[in-house]
A and B are shown apart, each in its own frame.
Chain A
Amino acid sequence: MFVTAAYAQQSTTTEGAEAHDAAAAGEVHTETGVAHEGEAGSGVFPPFDSTHFASQLLWLAITFGLFYILMSKVIIPRIGGILETRHDRIAQDLDEASRLKGEADAAIASYEQDLATAKSKGHKIADDARESAKAKANADRTAVEADLAKKISAAEDRIADIKAKALADVGAIAEETATAVVKQLIGGTVTKAEITAAVKASAGN
C-alpha cells in the first residue's frame, strides 16, 4: 500500500503535469497491479491514479469555469443587488425617521415657544393691569388730596377773609363805641378824625 502510494506520488510529480497518453498509464498500472494483486481497480491508490488526471482536469475546468461565470454574471450581481436594495431601503427609512423626528422636535419647540410667549403675555397683561390700577388709585388719591387741599385753602381764605373783615369791623365798632362813650361821658362831640386817630393809636399798642 505504501509502496503504491509512494509510487503514485512519484508518478504524479513526474508524469502528472504532462498529459500522457492512456497507453503509457496502462503500462504503469499493469506493473503495479502485478505487484499488488487482489487490490481493487488498477491497483494504484485511486486518488493518485493518474489515468484519469487529464479527464479530471478537463471536466474541472469546464464545470468550475461554468460555475465561475454563473457566479460572477448572475448570482453575485443578484445577491449584491438584493443587499444593496435593502441597505438603501434601510437608509431611506432611517432618513425618513430622522426627518419625522426633526419635525416632531420642531413642533415641540414651536409649542414651547408659543407657551412661553403666552405665559409672558399673560404676565405682561397682569403687570399692566396692576400698574394701571395702581396708577389710577394714585391719580384718584392725588385728585382727592388736591381737591381737599383746595377746599382747605378755600376755607382758610374764607376764615382769613372773615377774620380781616371782623378785624376791620372792630375798628369801626371801636370808633362808634368811643364816640358814644365820649358823648355819654363828656357830653361834647369829638371829631371823627380825632377818634379814628385815637383808636388807631390804641390798636397799635
Chain B
Amino acid sequence: MSNDPTHQFLVNKIVPIEIGGIDFSFTNASLFMVATVGAAAGFLYLTTSQRGLIPNRMQSVSEMSYEFIASMLREGAGSGGMKFFPMVFSLFMFILTANLLGMFPYFFTITSQIIVTFALALFVIGTVILYGFYKHGFGFLKLFVPHGVPGVLLPLVVAIEIISFLSRPISLSVRLFANMLAGHITLKVFAGFVTSLSALGALGIGGAILPLIMTVAITGLEFLVCFLQAYVFAVLTCMYLNDAVHPGSH
C-alpha cells in the first residue's frame, strides 16, 4: 500500500460536505488548493509590503515574476492583451506554487489531478472564446481561415484549424497533468527501489546507491519541470489570448 506509487494521488475527505446529493467535501486536494493560495498570495503580499524603492531580495522575486509575466504577455498577445494580465499572472503563480508545494514529501499535488488542470485549461479557452466573440463578433471565426491558402485546400485547412483549436484545452491540461503525475510516480518508484533494495542486506544497500542518486537527480529535474510547466502553461495562455485579441493575424 505505501509502496503503491499512485497512492499519493488519492483524494481523501477531510470535512464531508454534501449539497443536493452532490459530494462537495473538503478534501486533502481542497486543503492544498487553500495552501497554494495562502502560500502564493502570502508570499506576494508580505514581500511587497515594504514597497521599497530599492527592493530587497524577496521583493525583487515578486517584482521579477510580475515583470516576467508582463513581458511574456506583451510579447505573446501585444499591448491589447495586457487586460488579461491578472488572469495570466494568477494562473502562473497558482500553478507554479501548486507544483512546488507538491514537491514536499507527503504533500498533495493538485496539478496532478486531471480535473484541476482541465478546469484551468477550460477557463483559458473559455476566456479566449468569450472575449473573441465579444470583441470581434463573427470576425473571430477568421481565426480558422488562415491567409493565403489556395481555395482548393481551404476546407481541409479550416478543418485542421478547428481540430487544433478544439484540442487545445486537452493538450494544455494533459501536458501539465501528465508531467506532474509522471514525475511524482517516477520519484516514488525510484525511492521505493531504495527502500526495497536496502532491505536485502549489505549487497542490497550497495545496490540502492544507484536509485538513490537517481532519486536526487530526478528531484532536481522535477523542480525544473515544476517551473517549466507553469511557464509553458502561461506562454500557451498568452498565445491563445493573442488569437482572441488579434484573430486572423497568424
Contact = CB atoms under 8 A, between A and B. Distances in A.
A and B physically associate = yes
B9 interface: yes
Interface in A75-120: 75-76, 78-83, 85-86, 89
Q: In this complex, which of A16, A56, A64, A82 has the most chain B Cβ atoms within 10 angstroms of its Cβ?
A: A56
Given A40-B6, A47-B177, A72 B90 contact: yes
Given A22-B21, A40-B1, A60 B45 contact: no
Contacts of B86: 68, 71-72, 76
Interface string B100-119: 00000000001011111001
Contact of A64 (B23, B45, B63, B94): B94
Kindly state the interface size class of chain B when it binds its partner: 35 or more
A21 B9 contact: no
Given A40-B7, A59-B30, A47 B87 contact: no
Contacts of A89: 53
Contact of B51 (A12, A58, A62, A81): A81
A51 interface: yes
Contact of A52 (B27, B33, B62, B66): B27
Contact of A71 (B33, B41, B120): B41
Kindly state the interface size class of chain A when it binds its partner: 35 or more
B87 to A, nearest CB: 7
A82 B63 CA distance: 9
- Going nearest first, the 10 A-B pairs with the smallest beta carbon separation are A72-B86, A59-B30, A46-B9, A63-B33, A52-B11, A67-B37, A79-B66, A71-B90, A68-B90, A75-B44
12 contacts: A41-B10, A54-B22, A55-B17, A55-B23, A59-B26, A60-B120, A67-B37, A67-B93, A68-B86, A68-B87, A71-B86, A79-B62
Given A47-B9, A56-B29, A71-B44, 19 more contacts: A48-B114, A52-B25, A54-B22, A55-B11, A55-B23, A56-B27, A60-B119, A63-B37, A67-B37, A68-B86, A70-B37, A74-B45, A76-B66, A76-B85, A76-B86, A79-B62, A80-B66, A82-B63, A83-B66
Interface of B: 1, 4, 6-7, 9-11, 17-18, 21-27, 29-30, 33-34, 36-37, 40-41, 44-45, 48, 51-53, 55, 59, 62-63, 66-67, 85-87, 89-90, 93-94, 110, 112-116, 119-120, 123, 177, 181
Interface of A: 12, 16, 19, 21-22, 39-41, 45-64, 66-68, 70-72, 74-76, 78-83, 85-86, 89
